[in-house]
Structures are given as C-alpha cells and as structure tokens.
A = this chain, B = another copy of it.
Amino acid sequence: MSDHTAISDAGGASVGVVAPCMARFDEPVRLKSGAVLEHYELVYETYGALNAARSNAVLICHALSGHHHVAGRYADQPDNIGWWDNMVGPGKPIDTERFFVVGVNNLGGCHGSTGPSSIDPATGRPYGARFPVVTVEDWVETQARLAERLGIARFAAIMGGSLGGMQALQWAIARPEQVGHAIPIAAAPKLTAQNIAFNDVARQAILTDPDFHGGNFYAHGVVPQRGLRLARMLGHITYLSDDSMAEKFGRELRTGTYNFGYDVEFEIESYLRYQGDKFAGYFDANTYLLMTKALDYFDPALPFGGDLSRALAGAQAAFLVLAFTSDWRFSPGRSLDIVKALLDNNLDVSYAEITSPHGHDSFLMEDEHYHELIRTYLQNIPL
C-alpha cells in the first residue's frame, strides 16, 4: 500500500497517544515451509478496552508494507499517525468506544516483530537470508497465539485490506470458531499470473542488486536501496488506477518543457521516485521479499483441487466483502470469487463494490460510502 494515510476526524476522534507493546513467544512455531522458529516476538498495539465478556475484539491485519501502528500517534513522534487512523478511533467506523482493536506487525516484518533484520540468537547476527519464508497461514497461527496471550478466545471481527484481507479469509478457514465476522477488503483468494509477475519483477530488482549480498547485506553495512526503490516504484503503479494517475499527474512537466534527458521531467516520475527513495530508506529488503512471497503462495483452494468453495466449507464467520471499482490489482471480480464460494456454503455474506477512482489504495482512503458501510456493519454486530 502507499502512503496515503488519511487523517481526518470527520465522524470520530483520534485514539490519541498510543504505545506499542511487545509479546515474546518461547514456544517454537513450525512454519508451513517446515522451518521452525524457537523464539519470536510480535509487536502490537491495542485501542479501546476489552469488555468483561471478552467478546469485542477486532483484529486488523496489515498489507505488504503495513504494521501494528494502525491508529493514533506516538508521544515522541506526533506526526507518526497510524496507517488506518481515518477508520479506527472513538466514533469512527471501527469504533474504539465499542471495540477492542488489535493491530500486530506480522512475523517477518520490519517494524518490531521478529524478522530478517532481527538478531538470530543462534548466531548473534541478523537472520538475513536465514530467516524462513512465512505464509499467510503462519501469520494466522502466530496471531492466534497473540490473541491467546491477550485473553481473546474469539474475535468479533477480523479485517484487513489487500494482503490483510487474505489473512481475514484464512482465519475464517483455519480457525472458524474464533472468527465472528471476516471482512476482506480489496482482497483476492489467490494471485493471478499477472500479480505474481509484478511481484517477481520487484523481487528480482532486490535480489540482483549488488548490495543485496544474498540477503546478508546487514553484515556489509549496506542496504539494497536501488532494488527496493524500484520495487516500490513498480508497486505504486499497481496501487493506483490509470484514471487517478491521469487525474493527479497527467502529463504535467516539472519545468513546463521537455529537457531531453533522463532527470525527472514528468510529475509522475517525481512522485514515484520520491516514494521509492523514501521507502528504500526505512523498509527491510528481506521483509519485502517475504511479504511478496506470502502473497504469491496464498491459495487456500489449492489443497482442494482449486475449489475455493470446498476450502471454505468449514467456515462459520459471517462476511462483509468489499471491493473497489478502479482496483485493477485485485479487481472486484476477485472479491466475487470469494462471495461465490461463501454462497456455495450458505454462509452469511454481504458484498459491496464501492465506486472509487483510487485503485487498490482505495481501501486506505476516506470515502463516505466505504466508511459508512463498515460503520453500519460493525454497529450491528452483537457483542
């Protein structure tokens, strides 16, 4: 996702100052790949209060470049606003007066949870290439352990956009009794060949950067910034719609004239390079690789011969499935694949295709129809 963190108190207030918490797990986790992590930590935030019945918890799952800092700001970083601050807060669509909201940085991340840049206790050095590939299934397993730690036996709702929506879907499949409502937004039940192709170009940009050093760049005091920058630039194109790019940038020239060289000329170039540079300055390249692989691998229908309806046969959650008209990365048709499979199982599903010009990034945007749909749906969940 891109950095369109929208800050608005329209229809709600901020959760205010928040602080991350750390949970350490010493029970080994066996990952889908077969690799075992003996210990790991997950950084998370919570907003609102868990009620006495422990029935009001909402888990927010993050997308490729997201993290646990979903809402509010840090006391010492007042400009560091959570990535879904427009959605989560007192009186906001995910109302922290009513719900106990949990955001967690996924295993393999680079925002505090154990990941490739963490110190491997076995060597005293960053894991780097030794950090195992993780999957959506692994995230659900480790998120479930965090939930147990927090005393949450069942979530009122689990939700997220893009890769976050895949996690909501996987929760409903893997732990049906622990999910009241699943809300996958701008998601898909699996990537297409084109989706995988974009991911692979991004990965190849990182893997072939001479500063990548086979994933162990930490020891060399460098970062594969060139590759990460290209990956982010490319990603950004797929997060926006053709129309929104035309609307926002068109063919506007920085200096008003052609310069017949390779410096920035068009505004869109300036925007993409800026986004790429910024991202390459803080995001971990190995985490980027991991996250794209988790996307590629996600395919719950695979063990069922490609039949998503069979994959969802055990699900019990009610669903709200949301898609955006201009999202060409995970088009509304991909959400309808999910809806179809849910209907095949006679599950309770509401679907809305929201008219939005902002492409895949729409899930981060403040849109009245979108926000009111989520507000209304969540309000009607009995606790």
Asked whether A196 lies within 8 Å of B266 as measured between CB atoms, the reply is yes
Q: How far is the CA of A273 from the CA of B266 in the complex (A)?
A: 29
A380: chain B residues at CB < 8 Å are: none
Asked whether B132 lies within 8 Å of A196 as measured between CB atoms, the reply is no
Closest chain B CB from A326 CB (angstroms): 12
Asked whether B246 lies within 8 Å of A204 as measured between CB atoms, the reply is no
Asked whether B193 lies within 8 Å of A208 as measured between CB atoms, the reply is no
**Stretch of A71-79, A118-126, A156-164, A256-264 on the interface side:** A256-264
Closest chain B CB from A276 CB (angstroms): 8
A266: chain B residues at CB < 8 Å are: 193, 196, 200, 296
Q: How large is the interface on A (under 10, 10 to 19, 20 to 34, 35 or more residues)?
A: 35 or more
Q: Mark A214-257, 1 if CB is under 8 A from B, else 0.
A: 00000000000010011001101100101001101111000000
Verify if A283 is at the interface (C-beta below 8 Å from B).
no
Verify if A346 is at the interface (C-beta below 8 Å from B).
no
Verify if A192 is at the interface (C-beta below 8 Å from B).
yes
A154: chain B residues at CB < 8 Å are: none
Identity of the chain B residue whose Cβ is nearest the Cβ of A190 in the assembled complex: B251
Given A133-B261, A260-B132, A260-B133, are A233 and B200 neighbors across the interface (CB < 8 Å)? yes
Verify if A353 is at the interface (C-beta below 8 Å from B).
no
Q: How far is the CA of A251 from the CA of B190 in the complex (A)?
A: 9
Verify if A101 is at the interface (C-beta below 8 Å from B).
no
Asked whether B237 lies within 8 Å of A269 as measured between CB atoms, the reply is no
Question: Of the candidates B197, B204, B207, B273, which one forms a contact with A204 in the assembled complex, judged by CB atoms under 8 Å apart?
Answer: B273
A33: chain B residues at CB < 8 Å are: 258, 260
Asked whether A200 lies within 8 Å of B272 as measured between CB atoms, the reply is yes
Given A233-B201, A289-B262, A299-B251, are A193 and B133 neighbors across the interface (CB < 8 Å)? no
Copies of the protein in its oligomer: 2
Identity of the chain B residue whose Cβ is nearest the Cβ of A230 in the assembled complex: B205
Verify if A198 is at the interface (C-beta below 8 Å from B).
yes
Q: How far is the CA of A132 from the CA of B209 in the complex (A)?
A: 28
Identity of the chain B residue whose Cβ is nearest the Cβ of A132 in the assembled complex: B260
A265: chain B residues at CB < 8 Å are: 296
Asked whether A268 lies within 8 Å of B237 as measured between CB atoms, the reply is no
A249: chain B residues at CB < 8 Å are: 193
Mark A residues whose CB is within 8 Å of B.
32-35, 132-133, 190-194, 196-198, 200-201, 203-205, 207-210, 226, 229-230, 233-234, 236-237, 240, 242, 245-246, 248-251, 258, 260-262, 265-266, 268-269, 272-273, 276, 289, 293, 296-297, 299
14 A-B pairs (CB sep. < 8 Å): A133-B261, A190-B251, A194-B240, A197-B268, A197-B269, A200-B268, A200-B272, A201-B237, A204-B229, A204-B273, A230-B230, A234-B234, A260-B293, A262-B293
Beyond A33-B258, A205-B230, A210-B210: 18 further Cβ-contacts under 8 Å? A33-B260, A133-B260, A192-B246, A193-B245, A193-B251, A193-B268, A196-B266, A197-B236, A201-B230, A204-B230, A204-B273, A204-B276, A205-B205, A208-B230, A230-B230, A234-B234, A251-B299, A262-B289
